[in-house]
Amino acid sequence: MTSHKPPLPASFPSERIDARKALEFTRKHEKDPAYAARFLRDLLQFPGNEGIPREDLEFIQKLIAELNRKAEEKSNSLEREESAFRKEIVDYYIPRDLIDAIVANGGIPRESVDTQIGVAFIDIADYTFLAKFLSPKENQVLLNGLYTVFGNVLKRRGGYLNKTEGDSLMFHFGGLIDRRVANLSPEENLVYIATALFYTCVEMQRVCYYFNEASAKVIEGLDDPEEQRTVQDAFDIMRYMRTESILANSFNALFQIRIRIGANVGEVSIGNFGPPGNKRWDVIGVPVIEAKRMESTAPVGGLRISEHFYEILEKNGIIDRYYQEFLQESRALNGYFREITKEELFSFSSVILKDKHNVTFRTYSVQVNPGLPETIVDQIILLFYKGGIGADKIVDLIKYYRGNKHVIRAIEDLFAERRIKLRKGKMVYYLFPEKYRSSLRIMNGDKAKVELYIDRKYRLFDVLRTLGDYQDRLKAPSHALDETIAFQHYEQYMSREFQSLNTLYKRTIKNSIHNTYFFNIIFPLIFTSIKASILEYQAGLPQQMEAMELSGVLAGMETLTPIQAGATFSDDEELEELQRI
């Protein structure tokens, strides 16, 4: 048999070996002692090396042993480095509270558990539009900063950040990993998770507001230096864009970080989900699905909660307590929310999901920011100077907040201060043309008097509320005909079915015509009228600015006569009042 010969390195002169050659070779390959030891050991087996001097053989054998020792040390060091690196990866990606809970449990929980939890979803409103202002890297820095702030809130309040997905996140209270519920009774557990979830959602909205302003309050509330740096990096981008960038005006007018939150309480299955090697600690169940759907319809800057969640809060005094806290803050600001009622703060509504076969959720939308009307007004003032894009954004804000009496009143007062002429008479004409014509006949065809009456009689909110009522009636699912037909014989049954289907068809055609006309003509015209009034004002802005700079009359602008709040279009006194004008 031919013995295996290791390939000789170019620097090795021959297969003959001695102590000097072995030492030189070792020094050249000191970074890879395992290779050097293996090569020298194999080389000693070459024919011709059997008779090397004993002193050289002993030296080379000691050299090989030393090389093996160094190789083992290096291997152990690499294993320690890899182990430390793996630990760093685990610490980086796996939440510490999850690891602590599993350790406290004494092992990985293999089976899922059915339990009560409180779950919420957060989504950044219109983030696709906001992201256009920033590079991908800046978007990453900004989101990391925002999520760091949210994570800090959860850490302080004992919540668990379940996952982040792009511009949204999910968190929950209760279950195995929430050690605060370990010794609570089922009733105490429900009260705890409902209260903790509610006030966490409120704080999430508050810190988002401060984050949007790049307020130092946010960083002052962080203890961890890494968290402080992460938020500071996000603030550096925002401050630059708001003050020094050539896009500063557009950024301030259009870039407003606002979130919506959907929250629910209920029984879910909590545990490990996913294939072997890719498990996730997660929760599944109807309450989770409902919370996600409520997030999609939650008010921007507020939250939407389920009726069940609301009832738990009300039963335990949280609703009244929060209302008093909110009212106190609003009155301290002397803002538009200072007269908000509890029913307005917690506004009940049934949310219908047409894409889910008209599934209806009984929910409450909750206001969070006591200064919301003033915040919207500040943004609109900036948008006045952004031309058509600004006008579109203002209309979007009015369209979105049209159900909020206090925000719409603040916007209308701003319009009055700026002498933006809203043609509410035109809007009434689009909604109720026959009613408008009747009023016109009473006033002998004097349009100016009719529009003056409407302008004095109704606030913008009244018009928009009527529009919303009209819209809700059209969007409400039509009731199906009675399908319980007692079967007697084929012809009788088919005749009844044909009549029912034909009636339903005619009703559908009639509703379709009404819907099409409303959503394609009336609804757009109302907001197009508002946009036209804004564009009219914007067209005169250069001259107005010049005149105000010369005369300083900005503070002395007159406002329109206060309009009766809460008026309706079915008021019986309209005819008499029309005749008096």
pLDDT tens-place values along the chain, 581 residues long = 444 555 655 555 566 778 888 888 888 888 888 888 888 888 887 777 777 888 888 888 888 899 889 888 888 888 888 877 777 666 666 667 777 767 766 667 777 788 899 999 999 988 887 788 888 899 999 999 999 999 999 989 989 888 888 888 999 998 877 778 878 888 999 999 999 999 999 999 999 999 988 888 899 889 889 999 999 999 999 888 888 777 777 778 888 889 999 999 999 998 777 787 777 778 899 999 999 989 988 999 999 999 999 999 999 999 999 999 999 999 999 999 999 999 999 999 887 665 555 678 899 999 999 999 999 999 999 999 989 999 999 999 999 999 899 999 999 999 999 999 999 999 999 988 888 888 888 888 888 888 888 888 889 999 999 998 888 777 665 555 455 667 788 888 888 888 888 888 888 788 788 888 888 999 999 999 999 999 999 998 765 555 544 444 334 333 333 333 334 444 444 444 444 44
Q: Same domain, yes or no, for 57 and 122?
A: no
Q: Which residue has the tokens 């429900």?
A: 190
Q: Same domain, yes or no, for 89 and 141?
A: no
pLDDT in tens, 428-443: 999 888 888 888 888 8
pLDDT for 390 equals 92
Q: Give the closest residue to 95 by CA, choosing from 38, 140, 162.
A: 162
Q: Same domain, yes or no, for 133 and 181?
A: yes
Domain-terminating residue out of 61, 77, 93: 93
The total domain count for the chain is: 3
Determine if residue 244 is left, alpha or beta; phi over 0 gives left, psi from -120 to 50 gives alpha, anything else beta.
alpha
Q: Does residue 381 lie within any of the structural domains?
A: no
Task: Give the pair of three-digit tokens for residue 230.
Answer: 């992460």
DSSP 8-state secondary structure symbol assigned to residue 488 = S
Q: How far apart are CA 347 and CA 197, in angstroms?
A: 19
Domain-terminating residue out of 49, 74, 93: 93
List helix spans (H) across 44-135.
54-93, 96-105, 127-130
Tell me the β-bridge partners of 265.
118
List helix spans (H) across 121-181.
127-130, 136-157
Q: Cβ(257)–Cβ(146) under 8 Å? A: yes
Q: Give the closest residue to 297 by CA, choosing from 224, 352, 227.
A: 352
pLDDT for 346 equals 96
Q: Same domain, yes or no, for 128 and 189?
A: yes
One-letter amino acid of 196: A
Q: Same domain, yes or no, for 325 and 354?
A: yes
Q: Does residue 414 lie within any of the structural domains?
A: no
Q: How far is CA 433 from CA 207, 325, 440, in A?
A: 47, 45, 10
Strands 259-273 and 303-306: parallel
pLDDT for 10 equals 54
Q: Does residue 28 lie within any of the structural domains?
A: yes
pLDDT for 82 equals 80
Instruction: Say how far residue 362 (Cα) sits from the centre of its chain.
Output: 21
**What would you report as the CA-atom Rg of the chain, rounded to the nearest whole angstrom?**
36
Q: Give the closest residue to 60 by CA, choosing from 25, 108, 102, 31.
A: 25
Q: Same domain, yes or no, for 176 and 305?
A: yes
Task: Give the pair of three-digit tokens for residue 472.
Answer: 């809700």
CATH number (domain holding residue 270): 3.30.70.1230
Q: How far is CA 19 from CA 13, 40, 56, 64, 163, in A?
A: 14, 11, 5, 11, 63
Q: Does residue 404 lie within any of the structural domains?
A: no
- Which domain range does residue 492 map to? 421-580
Q: Same domain, yes or no, for 151 and 219?
A: yes
pLDDT for 555 equals 40
Task: Give the pair of three-digit tokens for residue 429.
Answer: 């004409």
pLDDT for 492 equals 83
pLDDT for 554 equals 36
Q: Same domain, yes or no, for 67 and 181?
A: no
Q: Does residue 1 lie within any of the structural domains?
A: no
Mean pLDDT, the chain, rounded, equals 83
DSSP 8-state secondary structure symbol assigned to residue 230 = H
**Contact partners, residue 402, CB within 8 Å, separation at least 6:** 408, 461, 464, 465, 467, 468
Q: Same domain, yes or no, for 100 and 87?
A: no
Q: Same domain, yes or no, for 334 and 463?
A: no
Class of residue 102 by CB neighbours under 10 A (exposed 0-12, middle 13-18, buried 19+) = middle
Q: Does residue 384 lie within any of the structural domains?
A: no
pLDDT for 575 equals 44
Q: Same domain, yes or no, for 145 and 257?
A: yes
Q: Does residue 393 lie within any of the structural domains?
A: no
Q: Same domain, yes or no, for 340 and 453?
A: no
pLDDT for 340 equals 95
Q: Does residue 340 lie within any of the structural domains?
A: yes
Domain-terminating residue out of 93, 118, 142: 93
Determine if residue 310 is left, alpha or beta; phi over 0 gives left, psi from -120 to 50 gives alpha, anything else beta.
alpha
pLDDT for 7 equals 62
